[in-house]
Amino acid sequence: MSKKLFVGNLSFKAEESAIKEAFGQFGEVTEVAIIKDKYSGRSKGFGFVTFADDAAADKAIAEMHEKEFEGRKLTVNEAKPMEPRSERPQRSFNRNSY
């Protein structure tokens, strides 16, 4: 079974290949995703690493959490499922609807 890890405090210049290489020493990395701003395309400073094996992921958490990577101390823990966004009421821009 696979396990996904949250990796925070990434350098804004970090590349997926470098992250895969750093985490690959603990086991098979099946996916690396750096989260980017949809308008600028710039990294948001965090991402996700998916391991094929749970034991390898646990070892990566133990070894990489608070370890320096490209000049910054990483935050590494098990990823939590994304919570659904709450429905916000629609805003009305009609001036007559006060």
Query: Is 15 contained in some domain?
Result: yes
- As a whole number, mean pLDDT of residues 33-41 equals 95
Query: Is 87 contained in some domain?
Result: no
Residue 36's DSSP bridge partners are 43
Query: Is 71 contained in some domain?
Result: yes
Q: What is the pLDDT of residue 83?
A: 82
pLDDT digits (tens, 9 = 90+) for 39-95: 999 999 999 999 999 999 999 999 999 999 999 999 999 999 888 877 777 776 766
Mode of pairing for the β-strands spanning 29-36 and 43-51: antiparallel
In total, how many domains does the chain have?
A: 1
CATH of the domain at 8: 3.30.70.330
Half-sphere exposure of residue 46: CA atoms within 13 angstroms, side-chain side? 9
Query: Is 31 contained in some domain?
Result: yes
Query: Is 94 contained in some domain?
Result: no
- As a whole number, mean pLDDT of residues 34-43 equals 95
Query: Is 98 contained in some domain?
Result: no
